[in-house]
Structure 1
Amino acid sequence: MLIKTRGIVFSYLKYRETSIIARVYTEQRGVQSYLVNSVRKAKPPGRIALFQPLTLLELVAYVPRQGSDLTRLSEFRCSEPFRSLPYDVRKSSVALFLSEVLNKAVREEEENLSLFRFLHDSILAFDEQEVGTENFALLFL
């Protein structure tokens, strides 16, 4: 069975030659770990870029079996492309810090729509912010 949801990438680990295990906070299922095959291949290039910290994704994933923590993604794509976050060194470093904090702090494995909306809207506001990006982490936390 497949489930379609939105997600926020917290982190990923390299797995074997061409795959990764991504830790994603999803709108419908909370924090989930997904095995993503063939994203580190040379062709087509750039798919690994979708799993950078705090990237907003639209996912189609398999529902995990009973007792299983790891499932596979059927489809994934960027839901809202960033304008400045990946290209500004200061913003990227703050985003990396926030993703590490969120990865350690958020342990929910169930739906929490208000938390997802807060994170989603905060990330988009941070991407559009021009001044004071260094202090965003203080405001966010």
Structure 2
Amino acid sequence: MENQGDDGRGVFVQLMPILILILVSVLSQFMVSSSPFSLSLRPSVSHITGESHLSVISYVADNFSKEYTGSSLKAVKPNVEDDYIANLWNNCWKEKQQNEGFLYWDRYFGDTVMYHKAQEMGTPCCSQLSETMKSLENFW
């Protein structure tokens, strides 16, 4: 007969990876701080106009001006612009992927409606990204 005391230790060893995952998840929640701004309007935020050369509109909580002043405010402004440009890149990529999907559908299934849809769709985020990058080149 096997020793009955080993069963408790065996269960603990089997549950150890799950307990470690839970612990890491809880600890990571404490380490992540929320962004002081948003590029889209959310409940309980007021809006400010960016004071940078891009004039990005960002939304902040009502207590933003109390918490962020001086150097901490200067540190936030480049992050707003970086997030804005990253969003434009992502949305431009999505527009191009959707456009390619329509063209693929036309190419392989002969659906000219999809071809016309791709032609009419346009890529406004890509255009905005191009304009933004030009303004950055002119700024620097």
TM-score (norm 2): 0.24
Task: Give the number of the structure whose residues are more often helix, by fraction.
Answer: 2
Q: Which has the larger radius of gyration?
A: 2
Task: Give the number of the structure whose residues are more often strand, by fraction.
Answer: 1
Q: Select the structure with the greater relative contact order (CA < 8 A; seq sep ≥ 6).
A: 1
